[in-house]
Amino acid sequence: MSRTTLLGAVVLTATAIAAPAAAQQSTLSLNVGTFQVQRIEDRVAGDTIVANLFADPPYALGYRVSDFDNVTVGGDWLFPIGDFFEGGVGVNYYAHTVPSFYTDLTDANGGDITQNLRLREVPITASIRFIPTGRHFPIQPYIGVGVSVIPWRYSEVGDFVDTSQNIFTADYHDSGVAVGPVVMAGLRVPVADAFSLGGEVRYMKADAPLDPTVGFLGDRIDLGGISYLATFNFRF
């Protein structure tokens, strides 16, 4: 399925759900927080970030999976579906560059042979949330599920060593669009008539194949992880 088809399906679905609620009170929910990538023991088989760490000697790279954790920012448009449910459409942005080096190889001067590994994700999420206290109760806990369409890009740029121990400079990169489920739980607390603060935990599971002709050590990239978010909610 093409990127255009995937993105179009999300937009059309969200529009169809939202149309009956257009005249009701909606919420713009902005968020900022931390995206923690899927940990090493939970990453998809063949993940290239893990493959780099456990490459055949002496080609392993030195970094930690947790080095990819970084800030995420975004926002959701939330619209009512009765008294106890609301739908949502939103987008978040995450990107981070992690420095790495060969743990068992150095250059002619004894210096590190270094690279930069960069991952970028822009999840576009359609969700539905259940509010057990109802939408009109001041303090609103909620749980939700959804699906994310995730444009992504991964690259490894810097100096590398071939099987003849020659150092060369290269830019390996790939990009695509993945789809995965999302679950969330959060709480909103009022501060003013039309404004509330909150917190949310959001878990996303997704991965994507990598182009085998590029030259990555792994054949997939794991895009999943947990977001810990502070939310700023404006009703209108």
CATH of the domain at 214: 2.40.160
In a domain, 34, yes or no: no
| DSSP class of 61 | B
pLDDT in the model for residue 136: 87
> Which residue ranges in the chain fall short of pLDDT 70?
1-24
In a domain, 90, yes or no: yes
In a domain, 27, yes or no: no
Residue type, 215: G
Q: What is the pTM of this model?
A: 0.88
In a domain, 116, yes or no: yes
In a domain, 25, yes or no: no
First to last CA, the chain: 36
How many domains are there within the chain?
A: 1
In a domain, 202, yes or no: yes
Residue 168's H or E segment, with its range, is: strand 167-192
Half-sphere exposure for 201 (CA within 13 Å, toward CB): 3
**Rounded CA gap, 196 and 109, in Å?**
58
Q: DSSP readout, 187-211?
A: EEEEEETTEEEEEEEEEE--EEEPP
In a domain, 29, yes or no: no
**Contact at 8 Å (CB) between 69 and 55?**
no
pLDDT in the model for residue 10: 47
Q: Range of 8's domain?
A: 3-18+40-235
pLDDT in the model for residue 24: 63
In a domain, 28, yes or no: no
